[in-house]
Amino acid sequence: MTATYRIAEAAELLGVSDDTVRRWIDSDRLAAHRGGSGPAQVDGTDLARVATQLHEAPAPGTTRASSSRNRLTGIVTRVVRDTVMAQVEIQCGPYRMVSLMSREAADELGLEVGVRAVATVKATQVSVDVP
C-alpha cells in the first residue's frame, strides 16, 4: 500500500505553501486523488518524484540554521535492499540524506519510496525514524 498525504502534509514535506501544492495539482505536476467526500490525497511515490526535482543541493560550506538535535524530516525517494543491508535515500528539503542500515530495520520501519521519515544525524551516523 502506497503512502498518501494531505495537501498540507505534502507542502510541509516539500517546504512550500499549501497553495503551491494546489497549483501543482491543477497543472498536473503532482497527482492527487479525492476519496469520497474527504480531502485530496497526494500519492507518496509521486511526491517523492517531485521532491527530488525540487531542490538543488546547497553549495559546499553553505550553512543554514542548525539544531543540536539534528533531526531532518523528509520523504523517502529511494530504497535499495539486498539480503543483509538496505540503502535508504531521504529528500529533506534541499538536502539528500543517505542511510545504510540492516534490511531488517528497513523492513520493520516500512521504508518505501513515498514514506515520510526523519533522518537523525549523530556524528558520522544517520539513523532513520518513522513519525
What does the pLDDT look like over 92-128, one tens digit per residue?
988 899 999 999 999 999 999 999 998 888 766 677 8
Q: How far apart are CA 30 and CA 49, in angstroms?
A: 9
Residue pair 3/112 in contact by the 8 Å Cβ criterion: yes
The length of the chain is 131
Average pLDDT over residues 17-25: 92
What does the pLDDT look like over 45-86, one tens digit per residue?
999 889 888 766 555 555 454 443 577 889 999 999 999 999
97: phi > 0 → left, psi -120 to 50 → alpha, else beta; which? beta
pTM of the complete model beyond 0.85: no
The confidence score (pLDDT) of residue 67 equals 46
Instruction: For residue 5, give Cα distances in angstroms to 41, 101, 122.
Output: 5, 26, 28
The confidence score (pLDDT) of residue 68 equals 38
CATH number of 71-120: 2.40.50.100
Average pLDDT over residues 24-52: 87
What does the domain layout of the chain look like in residue ranges? Answer: 4-54, 71-120
